[in-house]
Structure 1
Amino acid sequence: MGKNNSYEGKGPTQRQLRVGETIRRALSEVLARGDVHDPELNRLSITVGEVRSSSDLKIATAYVLPLGGEGQDEVLKLLSRNKHEIRKQVAKKLTLKFSPELRFQLDQTFDQMDETRRMLNQDAVRRDADAPDKATEG
């Protein structure tokens, strides 16, 4: 049996997307309200950018980022340390038959957007982008 990764081959199903978004909302609420009994975790403001569910919906990977991007390693350790309690709190808010195992990764989306902006602002790239497309000239 291969890895149970929802993004291998074809994209996620509508059900995976729906479950992922439901978990994202519940997880965001749990973290924002400080429902977990860990003062170190509760003092942080954590954004949950996306949650991806495996094809069997047993594993949910949450892509998170601390406010301002500071303390990323600490956030992952704190979330990992509290993942069982977080899972229990999230499960209370879900209407699923079972609560998926939660995994946490840093959300790289903002870094990628910043890097793309930086690249697009380079003189050589702007010059190439502004040049007429030779393939469409007649």
Structure 2
Amino acid sequence: MRKNSVKNTRINGEVLKELSNIIRGEIKDPRINPMTSVVSVEVAPDLKTCKAYISVLGDKESQEDTMKGLKSAEGYIRRQLAKNINLRNTPEITFILDQSIEYGVNMSKLIDEVTQYDNEHHVEEPVQDSED
């Protein structure tokens, strides 16, 4: 099975959906932030390993606690995944903290600040002459 085959893409989608449900609804670890989401999943073509990119909305300490909680619940999550998805092999999950959403929110905030500054100080955009 190739890395980007239709089958692999479908498996990635199913694993992502099930991981999200398990993390959101079944894990009772208080270290795991309620604002935790699975951004994307990459299951290896041999179904042995899986990288799960996790986004946590919160401060650095909350992110670290969530990753520790997920790491300790790895066996339970894998068992639930095996129960919910019928795969030949249940992949071993590696959780990776994905900060792209946080980065995007931060960039958006900076852009809003610059726009607000421009509006308050009536900064005009330079007009370019068009030569015909």
Native 8 Å contact 1:60 1:101 kept in 2: yes
Partner of 2:49: 59
> Alpha-carbon deviations, 1:94-121, whole Å to 9, x = none?
0211210011011222133235536766
Shift of 1:69: 2.5
Q: Which protein is bigger by CA-based radius of gyration?
A: 2
The code of the aligned residue for 2:81 comes to V
- 1:90 corresponds, among 81, 102, 112, to 81
**TM-score, normalising length from structure 2?**
0.69
Partner of 1:69: 58
Shift of 1:14: 2.5
- Structure 2's unaligned 5+ residue stretches are 116-125
Partner of 2:21: 29
Partner of 2:33: 44
SS in structure 1 of the partner of residue 46 of structure 2? coil
Structure 1 vs Structure 2 CA RMSD: 3.1
Matched, 1:114 2:97: no
- Measured in 1, the distance between the counterparts of 2:127 and 2:107 equals 19
- Measured in 2, the distance between the counterparts of 1:79 and 1:131 equals 53
Deviates most, 71-80 or 15-24: 15-24
- Structure 1's unaligned 5+ residue stretches are 1-5, 7-11, 124-129
Native 8 Å contact 1:16 1:57 kept in 2: no
Percent of residue pairs bearing the same amino acid type: 24
- Measured in 1, the distance between the counterparts of 2:6 and 2:110 equals 34
Relative to structure 1, the CA distance from residue 131 to residue 86 in structure 2 (aligned partners, 3 Å threshold; closer, same or farther) is farther
Shift of 1:63: 1.2
Shift of 1:21: 1.2
- Measured in 1, the distance between the counterparts of 2:13 and 2:100 equals 17
